[in-house]
Amino acid sequence: MRRAVDYTWRLAELMAGRGLHNTTELIPLLADRGIALSRPQVYRLVNQRPERVSLHLVSAICDIFGCGPDDLITVTATDARPRKTGTSPGVNVVDLNRAVRPRRARIIDDGQ
């Protein structure tokens, strides 16, 4: 059975719980732990769901907020629905006749 795995990035929630409402307030806290990120990088880290994050950064964030990775990232996994093959009765499906092709239009010049 295939599983659909997804995650929720909860850094903005952790920051709000600690009273940090500006993303720039996180920059010096990360710098104290040896991570130098620019303002746009920190903004994207907080407000967007990152696809790739180093474990060093995750451990620094967990140290800042006194939490574990499971507080920062919420994982959800559900059973993926199997693909349906074929058609079931009652479904509006039109069978296309692929053997028939449209005719090519001929343009005739009437004004000789």
Q: Looking at the domain assignment, is residue 89 inside a domain? A: no
* Position 25 in a domain: yes
* Number of other residues whose CB lies within 10 A of the CB of residue 42: 20
> Residue 54: which residues within 8 A CB-CB, separation 6 or more?
none
How confident is the model at residue 22, as a pLDDT?
A: 92
The pLDDT assigned to 90 comes to 55
Query: What is the residue range of 50's domain?
Result: 3-79
The three-state secondary structure class of 77 is strand
Kindly state whether residue 84 falls inside one of the protein's structural domains.
Answer: no
CATH of the domain at 43: 1.10.260
Say if residues 50 and 44 touch (Cβ distance below 8 Å). yes
pTM of structure: 0.67
pLDDT of residue 57: 96
Instruction: Determine the pLDDT at residue 88.
Output: 59
Q: How many domains does the chain have?
A: 1
Report, as ranges of residue numbers, the positions in the chain whose pLDDT lies below 70: 82-96, 98, 112
To the nearest 10 degrees (0 to 180), the angle between helices 55-65 and 11-18 is 30
- DSSP letters of 91-108? S--PPP-TT--PPPP---
Quick check: is 112 in a domain?
no
Q: Could you tell me what percentage of the chain is helix, strand and coil, using 3-state DSSP and rounding each to the nearest 5?
A: 35, 10, 50
